[in-house]
Amino acid sequence: TQLLEQSPQFLSIQEGENLTVYCNSSSVFSSLQWYRQEPGEGPVLLVTVVTGGEVKKLKRLTFQFGDARKDSSLHITAAQPGDTGLYLCAGDRGSNYKLTFGKGTLLTVNP
Amino acid sequence: DTEVTQTPKHLVMGMTNKKSLKCEQHMGHRAMYWYKQKAKKPPELMFVYSYEKLSINESVPSRFSPECPNSSLLNLHLHALQPEDSALYLCASSQEPGQISNQPQHFGDGTRLSIL
């Protein structure tokens, strides 16, 4: 059973379109991280959300943590080809070390 | 540029070879991690070191042997690997072995390992 369900798994869109990636669970998380990974590189941390209902913005990216801290979303406005990559959500259940990763969303933004 | 440095970037080895992967960070982080990542899949935790001591072994086969010589270095010794062990091996570090929300993990760019 996948603890963190991430959707969609694949997304191919045109430059300028908007998109939303979802990360859902039946479990409560102490925090949730979003990473972006480009080919040949390691995951790069985009944001950490901690408080239920929290919204964080990073330029054209908006991250939201659900009120019950069981789900999160990433919304990208006016996607650019440079946004292409594997987006990973990862939750922390307070275990000190262990991140539970979603399966990832492979985003391709076509020029 | 990542602050966690991994070498080599690519490694091809036979099933009878012995090799080592290296990871280095100079951020003063006291927790270090090894992950295995297959193509287009999320990273899977293998080992965690906290203050240079092994804290977590996620039931990893003994052909993978981690070592933490000091607080800045983390090695992964490989011996008698199988073709299914081919993957991207990622190292990560975090400041303290505390709450992840306050201590995010920083990843290196990984070593792409191919087993012939």
Domains, in order of start, for chain A: 16-110 (2.60.40.10)
Q: What is the token pair recorded at A79?
A: 């996607």
Whether B74 contacts chain A with CB within 8 A: no
Q: What is the token pair recorded at A98?
A: 């262990």
State mean pLDDT over B78-91: 96
Q: Which residue of A has its CA nearest to B105?
A: A45
Whether B21 contacts chain A with CB within 8 A: no
E-state strands within chain B: 4-7, 10-13, 18-25, 31-37, 44-50, 53-57, 64-70, 73-79, 87-94, 106-107, 111-115
Q: What is the pLDDT of residues A22-72, one digit of tens each?
A: 999 999 998 899 999 998 899 999 999 999 999 999 999 999 999 999 999
Q: What is the pLDDT of residues B28-71, one digit of tens each?
A: 999 999 999 998 889 999 999 999 999 989 999 999 999 999 98
Determine the 3-state secondary structure of B34 from DSSP. strand
Q: Which residue of B has its CA nearest to A32?
A: B101
Reported confidence tier of residue A89, pLDDT bands at 50, 70, 90: very high
Residues of A in contact with B45 (CB under 8 A): 97-99
Provide CB contacts within 8 A for B60, sequence distance 6+.
B46, B47
More confident position, B9 or A40: B9
Whether the per-residue pLDDT at B1 is higher than 60: the answer is no
DSSP type of residue A77? S
Largest CA distance in chain A: 42
Cβ atoms B38, B114 nearer than 8 A: no
Do the chains contact at B40 and A97, CB–CB below 8 Å?
no
